[in-house]
């Protein structure tokens, strides 16, 4: 009889090199930093976005009618010549 191989009930854990872990953490921090800088640079400037608290609505005070033409909402009338 041959001796059986010892079977471990614990799952196999891969030992990570400390340098590999440090590089992974540094790359993750760099990705976060680049994302924050990109959002900061690409954000709209304060000049292009109006502040709702300081904007005021000015209404015209002149109530005299203007001479603009009005557009009819009725369909146009078409005439057909007899015999044609």
Q: What pLDDT score was predicted for residue 21?
A: 95
- Per-residue pLDDT of 23-67, as tens digits, reads 999 999 999 999 999 999 998 877 655 555 555 667 777 777 667
pTM: 0.41
| Total domains in the fold of the chain | 1
- pLDDT value, residue 6: 72
- Maximum C-alpha span of the chain: 117
Does 53 map to a domain? no
User: Running DSSP on this structure, what letter comes out for residue 9?
Assistant: S
Domain presence at residue 30 = yes
Residue among 7, 27, 11 at smallest CA distance from 19: 27
Angle at 19 between CA 31 and CA 12, to 5 degrees: 105
pLDDT at position 50, please?
A: 58
Q: Identify whether 38 is part of a domain.
A: yes
């Amino acid at each position: 009889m041959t001796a059986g191989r010892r079977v471990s009930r614990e799952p196999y854990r891969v030992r990570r090199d400390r340098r590999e872990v440090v590089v992974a953490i540094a790359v993750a921090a760099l990705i976060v930093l680049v994302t924050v800088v990109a959002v900061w640079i690409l954000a709209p400037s304060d000049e292009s976005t109006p502040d709702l608290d300081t904007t005021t609505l000015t209404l015209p005070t002149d109530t005299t009618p203007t001479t603009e033409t009005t557009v009819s909402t009725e369909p146009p009338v078409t005439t057909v010549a007899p015999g044609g």
